[in-house]
Amino acid sequence: MAASLTKEALKEFAFSQGLDLVGVANIERFENAPPRMHPAAIFPEARSVIVVARRIIRGNWRGIEEGTHWPNYTYFGYHGLLNTLFIPAGVYETACFIEDHGWEAVPYYPGVPETQPPIEPLRPGAVAPNVHLAIRIAATAAGLGECGWSKVFLTKRFGPRQRLAAIITDLELEPDPLVEPGSLCDRCMECVRGCPSDAIPHRREGKVVRIQIEDKVYEWGDVDMGRCTLSFHGGDATVSPFLHKSFPGWEFDVSKQRVSEDRAYKICWPFSLGAWRQTEEDPSGFIVEGHSQIARWGVGGSYAVGGSRGCMRSCFNHLDARGKTECPYHNAPFVRRDRWILPCRVPLEEERQGETE
């Protein structure tokens, strides 16, 4: 017979494993989820989805905000260690703890549901493979917070500064209360003003995504994920001095592009991480040497160039300064100096010389 396990004991254990936030959704809260994003498609007997978060420390962004140091964010705040070690270690230990009590626990690493290829189900009537949860919606269902206008997930404790993962289990737990819609994001539009690629619509454009969980309706801006991905993953010269160095004279205005998120990945990853022959012009052989170096710092192979200028930095600068997170910093605000942004194209050396002659 399975040993009993209370939600309180479960949370206490998860916190002891370094996880900062833990929330519980019952499976009924996913009734509006598409089949290929439904937890029961992974584990049909699932009764609860436990969503966890670990903070991204604010100092991760300091180097990018000052325009002086990039690797920290990829390494500590994104894929390098946070997503591939710090969070999974806590998730795995918590899943072991649940299984020690006789319940099955599926540790879930958040994938990307936008890129599910068309595949036939492996069994008639079953859901096709490559099921991924929409982790931010799962976190909303678990009462951890809600998506802000920028679609970045906000919590009362950290604002936009956390990353998420989950455990799907047949252990039945009392769900946590849902956050009141609109209670964390005040629609200040700082994210819109701070976004270098014009990816986040202003609220007056009326581009809104809506979901319903129980009787609550959550809304956020319909973000252009193609532009967002181009900017974040190294296709945007306004936030990448490395692009200017490797491609002087290059002109590519991300804010004018209309591409899908998937195609944006297909552009950025081979471009940022690829290599060609070593030449005098490019002794390293890398296509964009600076981007490749950032990726090689990490352990998960991913990399972040854009540093979430609007959706994260502008947002927590706003929320921290107004006491709308539970993170008092002695030296607030985060943004203390004029912010840098590069032109989409830097004039070539010969053009600059021509101007001064």
Looking at beta carbons, which pairs linking 328-336 to residues 24 or more positions away fall under 8 Å? 329/58, 334/58, 334/61, 334/65, 335/65
| CB proximity list for 141: less than 8 A, separation 6 or greater | 25, 29, 30, 49, 51, 178, 213
Interacting residue with ligand SF4 among 50, 138, 268, 315 (CB under 6 A): 315
Question: Shortest Cβ distance from residue 144 to ligand SF4 (Å)?
Answer: 16
> Residue 82: is it exposed, middle or buried by C-beta count within 10 angstroms (0-12/13-18/19+)?
buried
Q: Is 227 or 318 the residue whose CB approaches ligand SF4 more closely?
A: 318
Task: Spell out, one character per residue from 161 to 190, where the chain touches ligand SF4: x when CB under 6 A holds, - when not.
Answer: ------------------------xxxxxx
- Size of the residue set binding ligand SF4 (CB under 6 A): 14
How far apart are CB 232 and ligand SF4 at their closest, in Å? 16
Single residue of 318, 320, 325, 334 touching ligand SF4 by CB under 6 A: 318
Helix, strand, coil share (%) of the chain residues, nearest 5: 40, 15, 50
- CB nearer to ligand SF4: give 77 or 90: 77
CA dist., res. 80 & res. 295, Å (int): 8
The CB-of-297 to ligand SF4 minimum distance in angstroms stands at: 28
* CB of 188 or CB of 321, closer to ligand SF4: 188
List all residues 6 or more positions away from 51 whose beta carbon is below 8 Å from its beta carbon: 22, 23, 24, 25, 135, 138, 139, 141, 142, 144, 164, 165, 166
Q: Name the nearest CA neighbour of 87 among 53, 127, 125.
A: 53
Q: Does 146 bind ligand SF4 (CB under 6 A)?
A: no
Residue 94 or 150: the one with the smaller Cβ distance to ligand SF4 is 150
Buried b (16+ CB within 10 A) or exposed e, 152-162: bbbbbbbbbbb
| Listed residue (151, 160, 134) closest to 55, CA to CA | 160
Q: How far is the CB of 190 from ligand SF4 (least distance, A)?
A: 4
Contact between residue 230 and residue 264 where contact means Cβ atoms under 8 Å apart: yes
Cβ–Cβ < 8 Å for 292, 286: yes
The residue nearest ligand SF4 at its CB is: 148
Closer Cβ to ligand SF4, 225 or 288, answer by number = 225
Distance between alpha carbon 216 and the CA centroid of its chain, in Å?
23
CB of 211 to ligand SF4, least distance (A): 16
Of 148, 226, 235, 298, the one binding ligand SF4 (CB under 6 A) is 148
State which residue, 9 or 208, has the beta carbon closest to ligand SF4. Answer: 208
Which residue matches tokens 């019952």?
26
Options 30, 108, 149, 303; binder of ligand SF4; rule CB under 6 A:
149
| Of 155 and 314, CB closest to ligand SF4 | 314
Which is closer to ligand SF4, CB of 186 or CB of 282? Answer: 186
- Among residue numbers 189 through 248, which ones bind ligand SF4 (CB under 6 A)? 189-191
Among 155, 257, 314, 325, binds ligand SF4 (CB under 6 A): 314
State the residues that interact with ligand SF4 by CB under 6 A: 148-150, 185-191, 314-315, 318-319
